[in-house]
């Protein structure tokens, strides 16, 4: 389904393609509006120093880079707008892929960088589903491709390059936080 080549860890590298920069007075606004770029950022906003993150790898963001405590993260895992006893996975919106849909041409590589402070994966799946951390699945069945052995860990700062994707629509997700999804269309 895919070929993954590890491009190595490029901590601090600026990989986001910036397609618009506007300077208004002292305010500089940067927008990423082009869905045709070849970079995807894997994002979170964990709160550095929150001991709640420590048992599962901590939070490597610098102070002021992240503001989401484990309590808030867990509170936003499920939607309260459900019919009991159902519970629907929503997941904290700060845990996300940007952009979450990319259109690219056959033969081009797509670089995926973890810009968050937590561990993630960027795993191709046949269908979106749960990951390998059952408490975060909230009713989703585990996607067969989401096994610890079948995924490439993407620690903070790491970059992987996706190459050799066949024409068509490809589905990727984080196998830890399964609401972190992305689609890549290869023309």
Q: CB 22: neighbour CB atoms within 10 A? A: 9
From the CB of 77, what's the least distance to Cu ion, in Å?
13
Interaction between residue 61 and Cu ion (CB under 5 A): no
Tokens of 57: 């790898």
Interaction between residue 96 and Cu ion (CB under 5 A): no
Q: Determine the number of helices (DSSP H) and then strands (DSSP E) in the chain.
A: 1, 15
Interaction between residue 46 and Cu ion (CB under 5 A): no
From the CB of 120, what's the least distance to Cu ion, in Å?
3
CA distance 65 to 48: 8
Interaction between residue 176 and Cu ion (CB under 5 A): yes
Residue span binding Cu ion (CB under 5 A) among the ranges 16-24, 83-91, 135-143, 173-181: 173-181
Using alpha carbons, select from 32, 64, 29 the residue that is nearest to residue 48. Answer: 64
CA distance 116 to 1: 27
From the CB of 66, what's the least distance to Cu ion, in Å?
14
Residues 112-131 that bind Cu ion (CB under 5 A): 120
**Which residues contact Cu ion (rule: CB under 5 A)?**
120, 174, 176-177, 180
């Amino acid at each position: 389904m895919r070929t993954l080549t590890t491009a190595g860890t490029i901590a601090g590298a600026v990989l986001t393609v910036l397609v618009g920069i506007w300077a208004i007075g002292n305010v500089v606004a940067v927008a990423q509006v082009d869905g045709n770029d070849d970079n995807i950022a894997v994002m979170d906003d964990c709160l550095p120093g929150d001991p709640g993150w420590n048992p599962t790898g901590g939070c490597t963001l610098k102070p002021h880079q992240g503001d989401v405590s484990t309590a808030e993260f867990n509170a936003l895992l499920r939607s309260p707008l459900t019919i009991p006893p159902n519970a629907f996975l929503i997941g904290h919106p700060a845990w996300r892929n940007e952009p979450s849909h990319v259109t690219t041409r056959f033969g081009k590589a797509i670089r995926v960088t973890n810009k968050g402070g937590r561990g993630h994966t960027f795993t191709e799946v046949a269908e979106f589903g749960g990951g390998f951390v059952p408490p975060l699945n909230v009713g989703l069945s585990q996607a067969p491709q989401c096994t610890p052995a079948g995924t490439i860990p993407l620690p903070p700062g790491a970059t992987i390059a996706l190459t050799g994707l066949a024409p068509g629509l490809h589905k990727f997700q984080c196998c830890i936080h399964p609401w972190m999804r992305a689609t890549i269309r290869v023309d």
